[in-house]
Amino acid sequence: MADQARHHRQLLARLGLLRRFARADDGAAAIEFAFVAIPFLLLVFAIIELGLAFLVSMSLENALANADRTIRTGALQASNGDVATFKTAVCGEMSWLGASCATSLILDVRVLPSFAQTANLPPPADGKTCFDPGGPKSIVLVRGYYKWPLITPLLQEAVGGTPGDRRITFAAVFANEPYSETPVPIKCT
């Protein structure tokens, strides 16, 4: 009988322990935070990463706008500048990106017969870029493509593209100034 009573008391003690555990809310905040923390941190990282991609986009736009002025005025052509010179000028404007600019930036500069030709011009295929700054009064299309790595997984799916990279683009179309009377033939078609 004594064994039964002791067993009964132990059972009640265990039940009491279970009741106290069920009523305790000491760790409730930690558990709730664990449920909310992962989506919250993912959202914060996605916002930061999207902000950085926007910063790269604005930097690329500003850098190309400043560098294509050398093409428009004929300064690049007068100094016999090539694609490396132009790329160095663009990357100089985006100096905060460091050495990754030279490897991640793709430039396509070509002369078009008219402004209407820009409407349906596809992006250049890999390795099929052109560098033709044209001559006086030429209509020039300058396009820049920058590969920006994305880290946040949900942001990669949201913006599309290849996993891990987002292609940031900017294009400008302008007519060169009449800086000389010598016409220049179109190099790239």
Q: Specify the higher pLDDT residue, 18 or 109.
A: 109
To the nearest whole percent, how much of the chain has pLDDT over 90?
25
Whether the Cβ atoms of residue 139 and residue 161 lie closer than 8 Å to each other:
no
144 by Cβ neighbours in 10 Å (0-12 / 13-18 / 19+) ranks as buried
- Say if CB 110 and CB 138 are below 8 A apart: no
Above 70 in pLDDT, residue 162?
A: no
Q: Is 135 helix (H, G, I), strand (E, B) or coil?
A: coil
Looking at every residue in the chain, the average pLDDT score rounds to: 83
The model's pTM is: 0.74
pLDDT at 64: 94
Higher pLDDT, 28 or 155: 28
Q: What is the DSSP string of 58-97?
A: HHHHHHHHHHHHHHHTTHHHHTT--HHHHHHHHHHHTGGG
CA separation for the pair 173, 141 (Å, rounded) = 5
**Greater model confidence, 77 or 143:** 143
CB 144 within 8 A of CB 90: yes
Rounded to an integer, the average pLDDT of 110-119 is 86
The predicted pLDDT at position 47 comes to 87
User: According to the model, what pLDDT value does residue 159 have?
Assistant: 65
Domain ranges of the chain: 27-175
Of 21 and 82, which is predicted with more confidence? 82
The arithmetic mean of pLDDT across residues 60-83, rounded, is 90
pLDDT at 97 over 80: yes
Q: What angle do CA 143, 122, 160 make, to 5 degrees?
A: 85
Taking alpha carbons only, the member of 163, 180, 153 closest to residue 49 is 153
Rounded to whole angstroms, the Cα distance separating 82 from 88 reads 10
- Contact residues for 45 (Cβ-Cβ < 8 A; gap 6+): 151, 152
Q: Work out the pLDDT band at 5, boundaries 50, 70, 90.
A: confident
Which pLDDT does position 174 carry in this prediction?
Answer: 93
Span 102-112, mean pLDDT?
A: 90
Q: 32 falls in which pLDDT band (50, 70, 90)? A: confident
Q: Spell out the residues 6+ positions from residue 41 whose beta carbon is closer than 8 angstroms to its own.
A: none
